[in-house]
Amino acid sequence: MTRVACIGECMVELKQAEGGLFSRGYGGDTLNTAVYLARLGAGTDYITALGDDTLSDEMIAGWAAEGVGTARVSRLPGKLPGLYMIQTDDKGERRFFHWRDSAAARSLMDLPETADILNSLASYDIVYLSAITLSLYNDAGRGRLFSGIKRARESGARFAFDTNFRARGWPDLEIARTVYQDAFNLADIVLASTEDLLPLYPHATNEDLLARIPGGEVVLKLSEPASILRLDGVLHRTRAEPLTKPVVDTTAAGDSFAAAYIAARLAGAEPVEAARAGHRLAGVVVCHPGAIIPRNAMPA
């Protein structure tokens, strides 16, 4: 049985290169997580919508080459994937520019096959999505998605929610706070960070942020290379191992952490060890350019 369903959006990526040029690739937070999950041995399907264009064809071929299942990708005639551009500074921090308002993925919760997609979630062990995924849909679409996840949980699936925050996707922060709380209330596993949550809850302490999340398994990544894990009310602090190489690009640090954490939990690891696995993979990813590192750079 396929074990993880990742729901979200993959876009055409233009990445800053030398001489004012840009290289073309593909990326998206939940897609990055899906690729790393597949590399770590977890059976993974990616659930999204794409167009019927050649760029979408290339995406699907690339995902399949990484071992990511594509059977649940909807193809919409006349539509295109979204586009984003990354600029990175000399410290590896990135800035994003998006062109995605009419992207195919935004229609995923409003298709004739939407009901079948949502019913299929019950066949997975974990359903994973991020706050960026939720920002794609309107209130009705998010309601349909949450209802589908509730049914999947009744059949034994677990819901893992990543708090990945992009302000551009949430022009109304009150709506964002409501949606985040709905996701917190439903999630079995929450993968959070202070970087994501402090824009929503300014001046909150780590304790304040954790108190907003009722679930029994919560990871809060900190601004320092460490995280706080709350498991059934008990707090555990985990520090990342020191980096042996300079930071080049922080893109997909959180996405890779999520993949390693979920893969470790599926393999039977305790949450503290899963958090250590997340820090290990993220520590390798940030030392390479781009979201997806070469296969031969993957840690054991």
| Mean pLDDT within 266-283 | 96
User: How many other CB atoms are there within 10 angstroms of residue 237's CB atom?
Assistant: 11
- State how beta strands 44-51 and 22-27 pair: unpaired
Backbone angles phi, psi at 160, to 5 degrees: -110, 125
Question: What class has domain 4-295?
Answer: alpha beta
- The pLDDT confidence band at residue 294, using thresholds 50, 70 and 90, is very high
pLDDT, tens digit, 9 for 90 and up, residues 74-109: 999 999 999 988 777 777 666 778 888 889 999 999
pLDDT digits (tens, 9 = 90+) for 128-169: 999 999 999 999 999 999 999 999 999 999 999 999 999 989
Catalytic residue at 255? yes
**Cα of 105 vs its chain's centroid, Å:** 15
Calpha distance 94→274 (Å, rounded): 27
Amino acid 295: pLDDT: 93
Q: Residues 109-119: pLDDT tens digits?
A: 999 999 999 99
Residue 37 pLDDT > 60: yes
The predicted pLDDT at position 92 comes to 61
Question: Band of the pLDDT at 199, cuts 50, 70, 90?
Answer: very high
- pLDDT score at 218: 98
The confidence score (pLDDT) of residue 120 equals 98
> Per-residue pLDDT tens for 160-184?
999 999 998 999 999 999 999 999 9
Alpha-carbon distance of 229 to 239, in angstroms, equals 11
Collapsing DSSP to helix, strand or coil, 85 comes out as: strand
Confidence band, pLDDT 50/70/90 cuts, at residue 16:
confident
Whole-structure pTM value? 0.94
Can you give the residue ranges of every domain in the chain? 4-295
Pairing of strands 226-231, 217-221: antiparallel
Catalytic residue among 29, 45, 162, 255: 255
Q: What is the pLDDT of residue 192?
A: 98
The pLDDT of residue 25: 87
What does the pLDDT read at residue 135? 97
Contacts of 19 (CB under 8 A, 6+ apart): none
Q: Minimum mean pLDDT among 16-25, 32-41, 221-230: which range?
A: 16-25
CA–CA distance, 180 with 146 (Å, rounded to integer)? 12
